Amino acid sequence: MFTTAFAPKNQTQSGELPRDLFAAIEDLKKELNAVILAHYYQEPDIQDIADFIGDSLQLAKAAAQTNADVIVFAGVHFMAETAKILNPDKLVLLPDLTAGCSLADSCPPQEFAAFKAAHPDHLVVSYINCSAEIKAMSDIICTSSNAVKIVQQIPKGQPIIFAPDRNLGRYVMEQTGRDLLLWQGSCVVHETFSEKKIVQLKIAHPQAEAIAHPECETSVLRHANYIGSTAALLKYCQTSPAQEFIVATEPGIIHQMQKFAPDKHFIPAPPTNNCNCNECPFMRLNTLEKLYLAMKNRAPEITMSEEIRLAALRPMQRMLEMSV
């Protein structure tokens, strides 16, 4: 099992770095026939050099469609694994192999196998933010964009385990009226937002709309004017007539929000403590320097056994079929 660990920012042996990293990365892209896929939570420089920026569902679809020989995945480990599951013959690089995910780590495969065995009549729907081993034990994968749509397509009366995120699971239960058996996992970033500070911000900015990701706790979601996946939040802030938004998700997305709606004002929802805990420490392990070095060295590479890959592919394909 891959386990999240903090690593020093410069853990990779850098050697000589070119003066113009952007130009050097562009050259390597051509040389390798590589595509750079980046999550919205990546630092702005990485978003700016990426060929494709998206949330988990958009990136999974982009990974499934690419003709590139090399996928450089600027995101966290489970996302790069997803790209490898869909592209066994391509080289998949992750700039920092220790870029994990607290949510994925909150669902250890052995414990989940026992939980599943205790409920043999249940169908397993797993949020894409989980390891390849958990995907391999699942019937259908979902993302925050399509979780409601996927659960709605499952016949009523079929018992369902929903893993690993309990907050998204609760949100899906509310939206569908279905009773889901929830694995009690969560994301440290989305559980950090302070309900009290969001309410204070709403009082100080009465015209602002609060927008939130469904991985947030119910206490935060109840103050949201709009709840949606990262991609849905990005779209909403462009179409809403509001000029000001309190954004309760990882603040990396604000870089794109400002690009698409330059005249609007975005306020990151504050964490409970006076810290930067609303920034995903795992996503931020990737840097432009590490991305360059990964391309130059063709490493670190994502690998997995073919048995796990094939077992994880089946529920991924079901998701892609059910979310068209």
Identity of the residue, 214 or 300, whose beta carbon is nearer to ligand SF4 in the bound complex: 214
Considering only 63, 93, 140, 189, the residue that binds ligand SF4 (CB under 6 A) is: 189
Considering only 47, 102, 131, 229, the residue that binds ligand SF4 (CB under 6 A) is: 102
In the numeric block, the tokens 């499952």 are attached to 154
Question: Which tokens sit at 174?
Answer: 């509310």
What are the angstrom distances between the C-alpha of 245 and each of 80, 198, 291?
Answer: 31, 11, 32
For the range 157-161, what are the long-range contacts, defined as Cβ-Cβ under 8 Å and sequence gap of 24 or more?
Answer: 158/123, 159/119, 159/121, 159/122, 159/123, 160/122, 160/123, 160/124, 160/125, 161/115, 161/116, 161/119, 161/122, 161/123, 161/124, 161/125
Instruction: Please measure the distance between the N-terminal and C-terminal CA atoms of the chain and give it in whole angstroms.
Output: 31
User: Should residue 56 be labelled a site residue for ligand SF4 when binding is judged by CB under 6 A?
Assistant: no
Q: Which stretch binds ligand SF4 (CB under 6 A): 7-15, 174-182, 185-193, 308-316?
A: 185-193
Q: Is 142 among the annotated ligand-binding positions?
A: no
| Rounded Cα–Cα distance for residues 245 and 26 (Å) | 35
# binding residues, ligand SF4 (CB under 6 A): 13
DSSP lists the bridge partners of residue 39 as: 54
Strand order in the sheet with 123-127: 140-142, 123-127, 160-163, 180-182
| Rounded Cα–Cα distance for residues 200 and 177 (Å) | 31
Considering only 49, 187, 216, 312, the residue that binds ligand SF4 (CB under 6 A) is: 187
Residue 67 buriedness (CB in 10 A; 0-12 / 13-18 / 19+): exposed
User: Should residue 107 be labelled a site residue for ligand SF4 when binding is judged by CB under 6 A?
Assistant: no
Identity of the residue, 28 or 59, whose beta carbon is nearer to ligand SF4 in the bound complex: 59
Considering only 60, 107, 280, 285, the residue that binds ligand SF4 (CB under 6 A) is: 280
Q: Which stretch binds ligand SF4 (CB under 6 A): 44-52, 134-142, 261-269, 277-285?
A: 277-285
User: Should residue 294 be labelled a site residue for ligand SF4 when binding is judged by CB under 6 A?
Assistant: no
User: Should residue 59 be labelled a site residue for ligand SF4 when binding is judged by CB under 6 A?
Assistant: no
Q: Which stretch binds ligand SF4 (CB under 6 A): 46-54, 100-108, 260-268, 294-302?
A: 100-108
Structural contact between residues 244 and 209, judged by C-beta atoms closer than 8 angstroms: yes
| Rounded Cα–Cα distance for residues 252 and 319 (Å) | 26
Binding mask 74-93 for ligand SF4 (x = CB under 6 A): --x-----------------
| Rounded Cα–Cα distance for residues 104 and 4 (Å) | 9
Q: Which stretch binds ligand SF4 (CB under 6 A): 5-13, 98-106, 198-206, 270-278?
A: 98-106
User: Should residue 66 be labelled a site residue for ligand SF4 when binding is judged by CB under 6 A?
Assistant: no
Residues flagged as binding site = 39, 56, 101, 127-129, 144, 187, 213-215, 230, 280
Residues flagged as binding site for iminosuccinate = 39, 56, 127-129, 144, 213-215, 230
Q: Give contact residues for ligand SF4 (rule: CB under 6 A).
A: 76, 101-103, 129, 187-190, 250, 280, 282-283
